[in-house]
Chain A
C-alpha cells in the first residue's frame, strides 16, 4: 500500500526476530493488558490442543496468544485481534 522509501523490507526483521525466537519462549515475560497481571508464558492457562492452542491470562482469561499447528506451518497470533503470522516449519 505504501509506496515511499520510508519503510524497509521484512528481511530486516531476521536479525532481531531470530534473537527473540531462538530463546526459550515459555520463559518470556508477558503483561495482561486487561487486568495488569504479569508473569511468564509458562504461567498462562492453555486450552486445546485441538483445534488450536489458546493461552489465556490466569487472572482474567484475556487471550494472550493463539497457536495453530498445520502439517508444514505454525500460525501465531498475539493478543485477541485478527493479526497473525504464519511460520513455515517444514
Chain B
C-alpha cells in the first residue's frame, strides 16, 4: 500500500511498519485462535521427554528437568497461521534448538518433528539452526497451556505455524524429506509465509 501524502508522518510510519510485518494474504489479530487436528493431549511434565534421533538411529533424550536446566531464552516473534491470521509480538520462553542440536552428529538435511498425539511435520534441518527455532514451554509469562501445545511445542516463527508442532515429543533427522501430517494432504512442503507457500502448487 502506498503511503498517502496528506497523512501525518507518524501515521505513515505506523502503516509502513504494519505492511512490512504482514505477509501477503494475512490479516493481523489480537486473539490467539486454537486449531486442532485431534483431541488435546494432556502430557504431564514429569513424564515428558524430548528425543532427537539421527539417521543412524543414535538418539538423545531430555527429561523436563534436563530441558529446564538448559539456557533459557525470552523470545518475541510474529507468528503467521496458514488460515490467514498473523499475530505480532508474541512472547515465549524456551530453549533454542541450537542447544539441543549442538552435539548431535548427523549428515541429515531434513527433520520430521513428532508430537504426543501423533502429529508430524517436516522441515529442513537448517531451518531449526541459527537462532530461528525453539522448544518453548512458556507463553505470555505463564506455562504454555495444553490447547496451545503445552507443556512444550516447537516454535519456528519464520514458517507458517503448522510447522511449529504442538506437544512436541521429538525430532527425527532424515536424509530424505518426508511429508508430515498436513504436508501429505496438500499443504506446502516448506511453508514460507512471505512467499505465500500455502499449498502444494504454490
C-alpha gap A75/B181 in the complex (Å):
12
Chain B residues, Cβ within 8 Å of A54: 37-38
**Cβ of A82 and Cβ of B178 under 8 Å apart?**
yes
Q: Which of B37, B181, B187 contacts A48 (CB 8 A)?
A: B37
The answer, yes or no, to whether A77 is at the interface (CB within 8 Å) is yes
C-alpha gap A31/B181 in the complex (Å):
21
C-alpha gap A56/B40 in the complex (Å):
12
C-alpha gap A82/B200 in the complex (Å):
14
Q: How many residues of B contact A (CB 8 A)?
A: 21
Residue of A nearest to B160 (CB): A51
Given contacts A54-B38, A75-B185, contact A82 B179 (CB under 8 A): yes
**Cβ of B83 and Cβ of A50 under 8 Å apart?**
yes
The answer, yes or no, to whether A32 is at the interface (CB within 8 Å) is no
Given contacts A51-B187, A70-B199, contact A56 B38 (CB under 8 A): yes
**Cβ of A66 and Cβ of B185 under 8 Å apart?**
yes
C-alpha gap A73/B118 in the complex (Å):
26
Residue of B nearest to A83 (CB): B184
Separation in Å of the B188 CB from the closest CB of chain A? 11
**Cβ of A61 and Cβ of B187 under 8 Å apart?**
no
**Cβ of B186 and Cβ of A82 under 8 Å apart?**
no
B-contacting residues, A40-58, CB 8 Å? 45, 47-48, 50-52, 54, 56
The answer, yes or no, to whether A80 is at the interface (CB within 8 Å) is yes
Chain A residues, Cβ within 8 Å of B162: 51
C-alpha gap A50/B84 in the complex (Å):
11
State the A residues within 8 Å of B (CB): 45, 47-48, 50-52, 54, 56, 61, 63, 66-68, 70, 73, 75-77, 80-84, 86
